[in-house]
Amino acid sequence: MKTVITDNSLCTLPIDEHAKPEHIYKYIQALAETGVKYVEIDFRTVMKMHELPDGIGYIFRLGDPMFRELTSVFDFSYVLVTIHDLKEEINVGNTPVIMEFPALRGVSRQLLRLAQGQISGPISMIRLRGSYPVMEDNEVAQMVWHAKNAVTVPIDLCPMNGKKAALDLAIKSSKAGVDCLTMCMGRAKNYASIEDYLFALMTIHDVLPKEFSLSAMCRAEIYHRLVFGERSTNCITDIMKLIDYDIQNLINADTGERVKLRVTLKDKMLLKHTYVTALQKFAEEEDIPEDIAADIFDAIDHFDSNCFNPELINSPKNKILN
């Protein structure tokens, strides 16, 4: 897959005050195994961690020039600086920089040169962050093409339209070959969800690129609950409920007929079995609070994959769907 994925949950969502460094560590590991190439972090995460796990790149969101000294302590892949931060010269050593611009303002080579004059590290990627209007595939493709031809560095897109419109743009821009997408594990108010993105690829577009692991995503979802606490939303169980609803009730609005679904019973069983397996492994290996453990075992009991009839699942003929 040409487009790489950045997760920004660790600098977007409020970290629970009781979150343990080892849970953040394992959460990042699970993100890496899911197929996420970079995690975006800020000083809050860095201050909690003794070390950062290997196997994934780190984007440090500077936020304030006072934190620039951290770039000499940690081996960040990039430091992210917004155009609004450039009120004075910023010294981040030689660490490569992602320069963030408002989405609808866009960027030009002239603007990039002016920004480079204010910062020590080389600007090695441009992020366009913000809300976009809902667009057709060809419009998104043109937008990506213009952005990639306006500058000579990779383009990262961070859509913030709200979860449904942001997800739509994320999928269309990855089809158009944007270099990087920044999304949020879990469901933040204004960002596309990584879980929704991956599952939409699998069920709507009938692909799951080899870079991504569904089982690792389920593990990341569990650690997400420990890192961000009760305020985090469990996307996997939400997706399961939507699948249940869609399989039973999806009707073509024009013809009134049942829609021929790409979401098959096998897809449904695979997601539930993968999630339950991740829950069981997690419950066996982790020393976790009793209330969260109770929720996990409730989830295991509720999503019992044994309720599926193996003969129906493995039948060469599609007897119910498609």
pLDDT tens sequence across 205-240: 666 778 888 888 888 888 888 898 865 556 776 766
Query: Mean per-residue pLDDT for 272-296?
Result: 72
The H-or-E segment that residue 128 falls in is strand 123-130
Identify any residues that bridge with 80 across adjacent strands, giving them in sequence order: 61, 98
Centre a 10 Å sphere on the Cβ of residue 258 and count the other Cβ atoms it contains. Answer: 13
Contact 21, 50 (CB under 8 A): yes
Contact 70, 60 (CB under 8 A): yes
Centre a 10 Å sphere on the Cβ of residue 318 and count the other Cβ atoms it contains. Answer: 10
Quote the tokens at residue 251.
């009707």
Instruction: Determine the length of the chain.
Output: 322
**Per-residue pLDDT at 114 exceeds 50:** yes
Separation CA 18–CA 281 (nearest Å): 22
Full-model pTM: 0.77
Separation CA 223–CA 22 (nearest Å): 10
pLDDT tens sequence across 7-36: 999 999 998 888 889 999 999 999 999 999
pLDDT at 245: 52
pLDDT tens sequence across 133-183: 889 999 999 999 999 999 989 999 999 876 678 999 999 999 999 999 999
**Structural domain spans, the chain:** 4-231, 237-313
**Per-residue pLDDT at 246 exceeds 60:** no
Contact 223, 27 (CB under 8 A): yes
Domain 4-231 bears CATH identifier 3.40.50.300: no
pLDDT tens sequence across 56-97: 999 999 877 777 777 777 889 999 999 888 888 888 888 999
